[in-house]
Amino acid sequence: MRFALVLAASGALTLASPPVFLLLATRHSSLTTAAWTLTWSDEFNNPDKSTPDPEKWTYDLGGNGWGNHELESYTSRPENAQITGGNLVITARQEDYAGADRIPRPYTSARLKTQGLFAQAYGRFEARIKIPRGQGIWPAFWLLGDDINRVDWPDCGEVDIMENIGREPGMVYGSLHAPSFVGATSDASKGVQLHAEQSYADDFHVYAVEWEPGMVRFYVDSNNYATFTQSEWPKGGRWVFDHPFFIILNVAVGGDWPKNPDATSKFPQQMLVDYVRVYARRQPSD
C-alpha cells in the first residue's frame, strides 16, 4: 500500500475494518511442488556482506515520502541492504541522511525491486521473511504492474502480499489496489492475526499469493486466509491484474498508516528474507 495509503483519509480505504482471521503459528508452506514450476528465485546465498545480485534487484532511492509521508530515505548502501547468514537483510537506521533527492531525513532504509529485470503474470509468488518490530516500522513484500511508467498508479495495479505495521505485532495484511470509475481507488484487504501475544517478528513465516486470471489467493504459511475475485470486485472498480507485475521488498519508517516512531521504537530494525521464489502453474503436458 505504498501509494494507496495517501488516499485512506478520503475514505478510499479503511484499514481498521478489513476482516481479520486468526492464525496459529506454523512454519509450513502451502506449496505443492508437483503443481508448480519454478521460474525465478533468489536464495540469498552469496557471501556475507555482499550486496544483492544486481542481475535480479535494483533500488528505489530517495526520501520524498512515497505518497504516504514516510520519514526514511531509501539507499543502495550495504548498511541498508546486504546478504548476511543466507538472508537478505534490509536495515532501517536512525540517522540523518541526505539521499538522492538531497533532502535530509531522520532515517534510512532500502527498497529493492525487480523492475526492468523480472516480471510475471500469474503463478505463485512467495517469500520466507522474519519481519522487524516497533512503532512506526512498516515492512512489506508486494508487487506492482510493470506498466506503471506508462499508465501510472493505480492503473498499473498493486498486490500487497504482506504488510505489517509495528503497533500491530500479531497482524499482517494482504491487499489489492486498482483504479475506480467512482472513487480514488478500488481496494480489497484482509488481515490475519496470530493467537494471544504472538508476534510475526518472533519467527520466519512464508508469505505468498497464488494468482490466476480473475482470482488472487493470499497465504501465510499453509493458511489461505483471503481470496479476492474479479466477479466480486467492488462496483465501479476495474480489475487490472491480468498482466506482468514486478516484485518489491522494503522497510518503511513512519507514514500515514503506521504513524511515526516514538520513545518505544528501537533502531536499527531488520527484515530478514530467507528467499523469494516465483512459480508458474505446471501444465498437464509438462
Q: Which residues are catalytic?
A: 158, 163
Tell me the C-alpha distance between 220 and 27, whole Å: 9
* HEC letters along 84-122: ECCEEEEEEEEEEEECCCCCEEEEEECEEECCCCCCECC
Report CA-CA distances (Å) from 107 to 82, 103, 228, 250, 252: 17, 12, 35, 13, 9
* Contacts (Cβ under 8 Å, ≥6 apart) of 268: 91, 92, 93, 94
If you search the block for the grid coordinates 495509503, which residue do you land on? 5
List the strands of the sheet with 137-145, edge to edge: 20-23, 186-194, 171-178, 158-163, 137-145, 245-253, 111-113, 58-60
Question: 465501479: which residue's cell?
Answer: 236
Amino acid found at 198: Q
Asked if 285 contacts 169 with a C-beta cutoff of 8 angstroms, the reply is no
Q: Which residue carries 506482468 as its cell?
A: 244
User: Residue 277 forms beta bridges with which residues?
Assistant: 41, 126
Dist CA 1 CA 20 (whole Å): 17
Residue whose grid cell is 532504509 = 109
The C-alpha cell 481507488 sits at: 185
In 3D space, the residue among 153, 74, 125, 72 whose CA is nearest the CA of residue 279 turns out to be 125
